[in-house]
Amino acid sequence: MARPLPAVSANRCVLVLGGTSEARALASALVSRGVRVVSSLAGRVAAPRLPEGEVRVGGFGGPAGLARWLTEHGAAAVVDATHPFAERISDSAAVASRDSGVPLLRLERPGWSQGPGDDWHWARSLPEAADLLPGLGERVFLTSGRQGLSAFAGLSRLWFLARCVDPPEPPLPPRLEILLSRGPYEVAGERELMLRHHIDVLVTKDSGGAMTEAKLVAARELGLPVVVVRRPVRPAGHTVTSVDEALIVTLEWLNR
């Protein structure tokens, strides 16, 4: 039997950090239950998908600024639903929660799991991923985001197809084609893209989720090696892996 959701106290604010699909789903679920939600977006994407409720864009001025915001706005809870690789804001949220006394919940989707037929090569960072590439292939499909392309700028002998939401800034690899695109993606389309560009190695971060998982399936079907960058270590704290879990915990905190 499903666990019943608690009633909601009116006029209590929840700050949701992040522009992920999980952040948008949680904001929608809370708003539908009468909760005042403020979603904070970093502002790194030119045309982000906006969640329901109130939206603010830009930083807080570090942990002290975030703690001040939580106190001044009477926040009852803060949910860190940022991207698994958004380290700075997660660190700030942990410090701000401690200093303000506002409880912090981390909502993080599970990472991807290697399965039969996968040829994965794990790296601890993008520079380490770049070091692995010369021994794995010559035509690289980069899906690690526009902000990390500088790590591959020195690989002049390799050709890169980099898929990003917004155009990247230099330094960039000299042999580079940019594909501006936003998921979700399907396996057939990913397979066709890799074949058309003669891709022989894929690079990705362990972001998890279904929106971009199709590239891993396509790489497996084509027998391509995949370089996977591990997630950074997160501050210790209360963590859940689904929107439903986050909703239950947040509503309980609202009614304390």
Q: What is the pLDDT of residues 97-143, one digit of tens each?
A: 999 999 999 999 999 999 999 999 999 999 999 999 999 999 999 99
Domain ranges of the chain: 13-110+233-254, 119-229
Q: What is the pLDDT of residues 192-237, one digit of tens each?
A: 999 999 999 999 999 999 999 999 999 999 999 999 999 998 888 9
Q: Do domains 13-110+233-254 and 119-229 have the same CATH topology?
A: yes
CATH number listed for the domain at residues 119-229: 3.40.50
Which among 199, 206, 33, 51 has a CA at the least distance from the CA of 120? 206
Which among 116, 97, 173, 169 has a CA at the least distance from the CA of 140? 173
Which residues fall within 8 angstroms of residue 94, CB to CB, at 6 or more apart?
104, 235, 237
* Average pLDDT over the chain, rounded to an integer: 93
pLDDT at 113: 95
Task: For residue 169, name the pLDDT band (cuts at 50, 70, 90).
Answer: very high
Instruction: Tell me which fold the domain 13-110+233-254 belongs to.
Output: Rossmann fold (3.40.50)
CB 78 within 8 A of CB 249: no
Distance (Å, whole) CA 12 – CA 27: 14
Concatenate the DSSP letters of all residues of 8-38 into one string. --TT-EEEEE--SHHHHHHHHHHHTTT-EEE
Percent of the chain with pLDDT over 90: 84
pLDDT at 11: 59
Tokens, residue 200: 């022989």
Report the predicted TM-score, pTM, of the whole model to 2 decimal places.
0.87
